[in-house]
Amino acid sequence: MSENKFETLNDLYEYILPALRTKKREMVGQKFSFISEDDIWNYLCNNIWIDKNNLTIADIVNDILNTDSLEIYKGRYKNE
């Protein structure tokens, strides 16, 4: 099986965007309005993946789909 290599962080973001969209739909359904894919991405980058290396696509997608929505929401709005 080939290993995915991404030249930029934006390439990775675009690749996993379907998972981010899925999490966004879930969160909007849970009444966490005004959340964006960027909010979810930024929360995970700054809080979950900050000290991790060599994450697989499976790890990244798992974190996106299984991180608590309330934690993402609170992380998004804590600095406002």
Q: How does pLDDT run across 12-44, given as a tens digit for each residue? A: 999 999 999 999 999 999 999 889 999 999 999
Which residues does 28 contact at the CB level (< 8 Å), separation at least 6? 35
pLDDT more than 90, % of the chain: 76
Compute the half-sphere exposure of residue 35: CA atoms within 13 Å on the CB side of its CA. 28
**Binning pLDDT at 50, 70 and 90, where does residue 1 land?**
very low
Question: Could you tell me the residue ranges of all domains in the chain?
Answer: 9-77
Beta strands, E only, 1-80: none
The number of helix segments (H) and strand segments (E) in the chain equals: 4, 0
- Residue 33 CA, chain-centre distance (Å), reads 16
pLDDT surpassing 70 at residue 2: no
